[in-house]
Structure 1
Amino acid sequence: MSTVEILCLALLLDAVFGEPDWLWKRAPHPAVLMGRLVGAADLRLNKGQFQKLAGIAAIAGLVLLMLWLGWLLSLFGGLPQVLICSVLLAQRSLVDHVKAVADALRVSLGDGRRAVAMIVSRDTGLMDRSAVSRSAIESAAENLSDGVIAPAFWFLVAGLPGILVYKIVNTADSMIGYRTPRYKDFGWAAARLDDILNWIPARLTALLIALTHHGLAAWREIRTDAQKHLSPNAGWPEAAMARALSVAIAGPRAYHGQMREFPFVNPLGRKELGPDDIDAACGVLWRVWGAFFLTCFIVSIF
């Protein structure tokens, strides 16, 4: 099987079955194993005066390990690659987690806050319905890029080694890529490499969202809003999602008890949001997935 044929099967497998709980109750998920590797590197190397060099060495070692592991596993043929690739994609689980926020919000605001706290890092205790909905929609957009399009893109580029490298770097960024006293130097390499690996996928995700909804008429506005984001990449899918739904997202939010004044994405969009808007965002996720799968399928034919 070709790389694109393997990816098509993996996309289908993930979309149909998602995360098999029965399996991950008996064996550690690959993302958990990657997290343990990053944690071990943090524990052993994040000390002393040369933390930035230690961080560079840590991420270089993890990348080399994933390149070797990906090459080794590729020797076993197409079927293992399909299974591994499907596990490293997150379309079905992403939709399930985002939809759970809408379902919980329909029960009560408190349930909605607790559900959205499972997928965002900001403070949720004082959120109103609109803030809960905005947070879920933002998470849907960003994780569509990080959890689906980016790993699929790097699998197409470099096969199993490519997707494993992307996932270990993305995992490292989520664990140590923070500008805190402990990680601002040690996590620098992980954060920068994650920015590089997500540069094309984030813009590709925004392009897919735009093309499957209102076309490219608002591309200039999407680009303008994306550049306001603290991340060089996350703003792109968020800006495209906001315009696909004709809503305003982002805006002020609290971290660790401190309110921070972030600008709204698509500020002229509707700001009063609810669970129906979260469901609509899930529809965007599936429409983009369908367009991406169809493109890969057509490529596989030729």
Structure 2
Amino acid sequence: MMTAALLIPALILDAVLGEPKWLWSRLPHPAVLMGRLVQALDDGLNDGDGRRGKGILAVAVLVLVGLLLGWALSCLGSVVSVLVAAVLIAQRSLVDHVRAVATGLRQDLPEGRAAVAMIVSRDTGHMTGPQVARSAIESGAENFSDGVIAPVFWFLIAGLPGLLVYKLVNTADSMIGYRTEAYEEFGWAAARLDDVLNLAPARLSALLLALVTGRTGQWGEISTDAEKHRSPNAGWPEAAMARALGVSLAGPRSYDGEMREFPWVNAAGSKSPTAHSILRCTEVLWRAWGLTLAVVVALCLLFSLI
């Protein structure tokens, strides 16, 4: 399986280099370019009547761009495929951002709030220490699925075209997939397609996290808590990580000055996670990454024997 063979160096390259500042300070990151495309579609189509249809058209454009660009890049050879995949897999940058919250929180609470504000969309100005820690852990778990396992999964399934389609749709969901007046209709297609594309990766992420922490015996509880989440997918890695660390996640949080009540994930766990809990989260993320790499290597060996 050619894609499995290409994924091995891509995973390792991302883990070693992450997102080097010297490169992305000189060139626009692909995620930035994807965001610009989504913004252009938003600016050009999101007005007037028939916004749901226009949103479907926007997503169709993104899918077509992803397929064509992925095919064109893959025609340039294996080295290009490895480099593109490495850039679009985000394990190292994910762990670095989560660890930065622990570093900030250990200095003082304002530093922790500032660091976590870089990775979450909720209000952070009045967070307590445990709220900062919970937010960082939730972000680490959810983005392990969105930023690592989903890209790996779709690259294995459909190579660079599959990976680029996923990243474009996921970017669109993060920008326009909101239930607000502006995006309720226009962002509907992006949000629904992102849900579909993440169905398998989210559950695989939870399984990987449970395997590396010996929590597979609690799969029933993980499943139950996952179904409480407002997202059909994000609850899976969060529920697995909550049990891996013995903490409660989710619960009440503030968005745009409004406190919202969400059910606790692993309600019996500690509701006072600390900077140490965040660092334990990063350790679990690396162990799950290691298992992912091992699975990819095993797939490569298996297909080489067929």
With the length of structure 1 as denominator, give the TM-score of the two structures.
0.99
AA matched with 2:110 = G
In the alignment, the residues of structure 2 paired with residue 248 and residue 215 of structure 1 have an alpha-carbon distance, to the nearest angstrom, of: 15
Which residue does 2:298 correspond to in 1? 298
AA matched with 1:80 = V
Matches within 5 A, 1:48-127: 48-127=48-127
AA matched with 2:235 = G
In the alignment, the residues of structure 2 paired with residue 258 and residue 116 of structure 1 have an alpha-carbon distance, to the nearest angstrom, of: 19
Which residue does 2:183 correspond to in 1? 183
- Cα RMSD between the aligned structures? 0.8
Question: 2:206 touches 2:239 (CA, 8 Å); kept in 1?
Answer: yes
Runs of 4+ in 1 over 4 A off after TM superposition: none
In the alignment, the residues of structure 1 paired with residue 102 and residue 21 of structure 2 have an alpha-carbon distance, to the nearest angstrom, of: 22
Q: Establish whether residue 204 from structure 1 lines up as the match of residue 204 from structure 2.
A: yes
Q: How big is each residue's C-alpha offset from its partner over 1:261-288, in whole Å with a ceiling of 9 and x where there is no partner?
A: 1111000001111100000000010000
Question: 2:141 touches 2:237 (CA, 8 Å); kept in 1?
Answer: yes
Q: Establish whether residue 218 from structure 1 lines up as the match of residue 250 from structure 2.
A: no
Q: Tell me the secondary structure at the aligned position of residue 217 of structure 1.
A: helix
Alpha-carbon deviation of 1:47? 1.1
Matches within 5 A, 1:209-288: 209-288=209-288
Alpha-carbon deviation of 1:218? 0.5
Question: 2:215 touches 2:244 (CA, 8 Å); kept in 1?
Answer: no
Any gaps of 5 or more consecutive residues in structure 2? none
In the alignment, the residues of structure 2 paired with residue 215 and residue 36 of structure 1 have an alpha-carbon distance, to the nearest angstrom, of: 41
Alpha-carbon deviation of 1:65? 1.1
Which residue does 1:35 correspond to in 2? 35
Which residue does 1:22 correspond to in 2? 22
In the alignment, the residues of structure 1 paired with residue 72 and residue 17 of structure 2 have an alpha-carbon distance, to the nearest angstrom, of: 26
Q: Tell me the secondary structure at the aligned position of residue 183 of structure 2.
A: coil
Alpha-carbon deviation of 1:298? 1.6
Calculate percent identity across the aligned residue pairs.
63
Question: 2:137 touches 2:278 (CA, 8 Å); kept in 1?
Answer: yes
Alpha-carbon deviation of 1:215? 3.5
AA matched with 2:224 = T
AA matched with 2:283 = G
Alpha-carbon deviation of 1:301? 1.9
Which residue does 1:8 correspond to in 2? 8
In the alignment, the residues of structure 2 paired with residue 215 and residue 129 of structure 1 have an alpha-carbon distance, to the nearest angstrom, of: 26
Q: Tell me the secondary structure at the aligned position of residue 269 of structure 2.
A: coil
Q: Tell me the secondary structure at the aligned position of residue 141 of structure 2.
A: helix
Which residue does 1:155 correspond to in 2? 155
AA matched with 2:65 = L
In the alignment, the residues of structure 1 paired with residue 257 and residue 143 of structure 2 have an alpha-carbon distance, to the nearest angstrom, of: 25
Any gaps of 5 or more consecutive residues in structure 1? none
AA matched with 1:167 = K
Count of aligned pairs: 302
Q: Tell me the secondary structure at the aligned position of residue 247 of structure 1.
A: coil
Q: How big is each residue's C-alpha offset from its partner over 1:234-293, in whole Å with a ceiling of 9 and x where there is no partner?
A: 000000000011111111101111111111100000111110000000001000000000
